[in-house]
A and B are shown apart, each in its own frame.
Chain A
Amino acid sequence: MTDAIVVAEGLRKSFGGVHALRGLDLRVRRGTVCAVLGPNGAGKTTAVRVLATLSAPDAGHARVAGHDVVRQAGEVRARIGLAGQYAAVDEKLTGRANLRMFGRLSHLSRREAHRRADELLDRFGLTEAADRRVGGYSGGMRRRLDLIASLVRRPEVLFLDEPTTGLDPRGRGEIWDAVRELVADGTTVLLTTQYLDEADRLADDVTVVDHGRVIATGTPDELKATIGDRLDVVVEDPAALRPAAAVLRGLAGTDPTTTGDDRLSVALPGGGLRLAGVVRELDRAGVAAADVRLRRPTLDEVFLRLTEEPVR
């Protein structure tokens, strides 16, 4: 973690009596995608606003691309891009006019701003819609335009605040593709999301935030490993659910949860449990199993486990 391009230490920010950030630490490695994951109100957006120089922290400090976000805000702004959950483009202008305007405001020359707008429109599949007013775009197109509007100046760090909230699956897929392409170019991406699968698919590192603090960090795999594998069992006869639950309790040492009329799921303590053993134990208890499956937990399960724990 020596090559961290975003470093935040002890960030605090309150609005009136609401503590949005309560000592948030964050590191993002250069050239990676870091997902900041958390429920609504966890402080994700506030963190991004501080890192993107839009609001100053009450305490703590942060450096982005080597510059302090408070004292060297201008230097930071020249090196970042920001795209938000609201499509921050002018709906009354065309897509092309928007990109040219943001290019000029990023202090590209007129010619360079025009060239860059055409290049981005082409690369992200908006050339056809380029000369229509943004007001007539679909939600996904608008969000894509918002995303590329943050790219006119080739940012070193791109902040994406819930880039796919409210989009349909197709729109989300388009944004994901675009983000992957950017990372391939070497852009560092910090994105906030409340979608676990988004973090799972895009992120190299995940930082889980709740109540304005970091409660876990790691790669998606590391986070999944912290709560162990899960065992799912489907019984043939719903009446066998009870004896099956007793078997699983005996194996895992914790109570399984019922996930359907005929199915159970239980978290396993670290390693050492083989599928064959599970089948044998169920057999011995006279339970006919339709399906027995050992799997990694989903990030959802990790997230629920992490955020449901009583907060200190």
Chain B
Amino acid sequence: MTRLRWALADGLTLVGRELGRLRHDPGELVAALMFPAVMVVLFGYVFGSAIQVPGGGDYREYLMPGLFAMVTFSSVMGVMTRTAADASRGVMDRFRSLPMARSAVPFGQTGADLLVGLLMLAVMVAAGLLVGWRAHLGPGPAAQAVLLMVVLRYALAWAGVYAGLAVRDDRVADALVPLFLPFTMVSNAFVPTGGMPGWLRFLADWNPVSALTAAARELFGNPGAPAGDPAWPLAHPVAAVLLWSAALLAIFVPLSLRAHRR
């Protein structure tokens, strides 16, 4: 029992560390919060001016769930780079030489990312409301959509922990960050998958980004429901997101904890 209490206390100390970093480096926080807001303007107005939503509707209404998904997936990259930086600079060794719970490090990191994620989500919602996006089905379904994002984000953060421990070098981690963009764009977040070539459409339909986007569209009542006979994850997006989250946690929590104990 005391062990569990210490693990929790250590985890909270590390959450506090991440928040302290943000406070001392407000530039990073502002940049992190600017990113989603810039995306709203960039995609909503630049691309949106030339894109027709199938089945009708406002493109910015169509776009916002995709951007929510994109911001959710950014946790992998953030947690990966922070973990890799700790591992390569010896901070991880210092943690490991302390009489603290070893599992506290990943729990602290993922916990802190969750707080950052909520903040980013709030900024996104504000930006969305400004450009005319609305949650049409009321607070209940909207809260469910936010909950789904939070759950998936937390699961993705664990993938980030493992990736960071695997690369162990913050320069490599930084070099991997740009891969994030194609991964999120091969999805239904910005354009419908229906017009993509078959192989690409297959990747896009099964991309978890698409499942989260589709779930958010459904729960917010935004346009863009897939027509005809969509792939399973798009036809059952809420279940797909929950399955993805469970699978990610089942794989990466044990892997990360083992990597930490090694």
Chain A residues with a Cβ under 8 A of chain B: 49, 52-54, 74, 77-78, 80-82, 84, 86-94, 97, 101-102, 104-107, 133, 149-150, 153
* A-contact bits for B96-118, CB 8 A (1 contact / 0 none): 11111000100000000000000
Complex-state Cα separation, A92 to B20, whole angstroms: 8
Complex-state Cα separation, A289 to B187, whole angstroms: 87
Inter-chain contact B20/A93, CB cutoff 8 Å: yes
CB distance from A46 to the nearest CB of B (A): 13
Inter-chain contact A105/B10, CB cutoff 8 Å: yes
- A–B pairs, 25, beta carbons within 8 Å: A49-B93, A53-B96, A53-B97, A54-B96, A77-B99, A78-B99, A82-B94, A82-B97, A84-B93, A88-B91, A88-B94, A89-B91, A89-B94, A91-B89, A93-B20, A94-B24, A97-B24, A101-B13, A101-B14, A101-B17, A104-B13, A105-B95, A105-B98, A107-B6, A107-B100
Please name all residues of chain A whose beta carbon is closer than 8 Å to the beta carbon of B93 when the two chains form the complex: 49, 54, 82, 84, 88
Which 6 pairs of residues, A with B, have the shortest CB-CB distance?
A88-B90, A86-B90, A82-B97, A88-B94, A92-B21, A78-B99
The residue in B21, B90, B99, B104 that gathers the most chain A C-beta atoms within 10 A of its C-beta is: B99
B229 at the interface (CB under 8 A from A): no
Query: Chain B: interface secondary structure?
Result: helix
CB distance from B231 to the nearest CB of A (A): 43
Complex-state Cα separation, A101 to B18, whole angstroms: 11
CB distance from A68 to the nearest CB of B (A): 15
Please name all residues of chain B whose beta carbon is closer than 8 Å to the beta carbon of A81 when the two chains form the complex: 97
Complex-state Cα separation, A6 to B21, whole angstroms: 37
CB distance from B38 to the nearest CB of A (A): 23
Please name all residues of chain A whose beta carbon is closer than 8 Å to the beta carbon of B24 when the two chains form the complex: 92-94, 97, 133
Complex-state Cα separation, A102 to B90, whole angstroms: 14
Complex-state Cα separation, A49 to B97, whole angstroms: 9
Inter-chain contact B21/A105, CB cutoff 8 Å: no
Complex-state Cα separation, A212 to B98, whole angstroms: 26
Please name all residues of chain B whose beta carbon is closer than 8 Å to the beta carbon of A86 when the two chains form the complex: 89-90
CB distance from A104 to the nearest CB of B (A): 4
Please name all residues of chain A whose beta carbon is closer than 8 Å to the beta carbon of B6 when the two chains form the complex: 107
Please name all residues of chain B whose beta carbon is closer than 8 Å to the beta carbon of A133 when the two chains form the complex: 24-25
Inter-chain contact A77/B16, CB cutoff 8 Å: no
Inter-chain contact B97/A105, CB cutoff 8 Å: no
Complex-state Cα separation, A162 to B98, whole angstroms: 20
Given A77-B99, A88-B94, A107-B9, 9 further pairs, Cβ under 8 A: A78-B99, A84-B90, A87-B89, A92-B21, A104-B13, A105-B10, A105-B14, A133-B25, A150-B97
Cross-interface CB contact of B94 among A92, A94, A97, A149, cutoff 8 Å: A149
Complex-state Cα separation, A53 to B104, whole angstroms: 17
Given contacts A92-B25, A94-B24, A107-B6, contact A52 B97 (CB under 8 A): yes
Complex-state Cα separation, A91 to B85, whole angstroms: 11
Inter-chain contact B17/A77, CB cutoff 8 Å: no
Chain B interface residue count, CB cutoff 8 Å, equals 23
CB distance from B83 to the nearest CB of A (A): 13
CB distance from B96 to the nearest CB of A (A): 6
Inter-chain contact B21/A93, CB cutoff 8 Å: yes
Inter-chain contact A54/B97, CB cutoff 8 Å: yes
Inter-chain contact B21/A102, CB cutoff 8 Å: no
CB distance from B24 to the nearest CB of A (A): 5
Q: Nearest CB to that of A83 among chain B residues?
A: B94
Complex-state Cα separation, A82 to B90, whole angstroms: 11
CB distance from B111 to the nearest CB of A (A): 15
Please name all residues of chain B whose beta carbon is closer than 8 Å to the beta carbon of A104 when the two chains form the complex: 9-10, 13
Complex-state Cα separation, A80 to B89, whole angstroms: 20
* A-contact bits for B1-23, CB 8 A (1 contact / 0 none): 00000100110011011001100
Complex-state Cα separation, A149 to B10, whole angstroms: 17
Complex-state Cα separation, A63 to B181, whole angstroms: 50
Q: Nearest CB to that of B96 among chain A residues?
A: A54
Cross-interface CB contact of A102 among B16, B96, B98, B104, cutoff 8 Å: B98
Given contacts A90-B17, A93-B24, A101-B16, contact A106 B91 (CB under 8 A): no
Complex-state Cα separation, A194 to B20, whole angstroms: 37
Inter-chain contact A106/B100, CB cutoff 8 Å: yes
Cross-interface CB contact of A77 among B20, B25, B97, cutoff 8 Å: B97
Given contacts A82-B94, A89-B91, contact A106 B21 (CB under 8 A): no
Q: Nearest CB to that of A155 among chain B residues?
A: B97
Complex-state Cα separation, A82 to B16, whole angstroms: 23
Inter-chain contact B13/A80, CB cutoff 8 Å: no
The residue in B21, B90, B104 that gathers the most chain A C-beta atoms within 10 A of its C-beta is: B90
CB distance from B179 to the nearest CB of A (A): 25
Please name all residues of chain B whose beta carbon is closer than 8 Å to the beta carbon of A107 when the two chains form the complex: 6, 9, 99-100
CB distance from A65 to the nearest CB of B (A): 12
Complex-state Cα separation, A223 to B9, whole angstroms: 49
Complex-state Cα separation, A191 to B72, whole angstroms: 46
CB distance from A107 to the nearest CB of B (A): 6
Inter-chain contact A87/B97, CB cutoff 8 Å: no
List residues of B (57-85) whose CB comes within 8 Å of A's CBs: none
CB distance from B25 to the nearest CB of A (A): 5
Please name all residues of chain B whose beta carbon is closer than 8 Å to the beta carbon of A88 when the two chains form the complex: 89-91, 93-94
CB distance from B4 to the nearest CB of A (A): 14
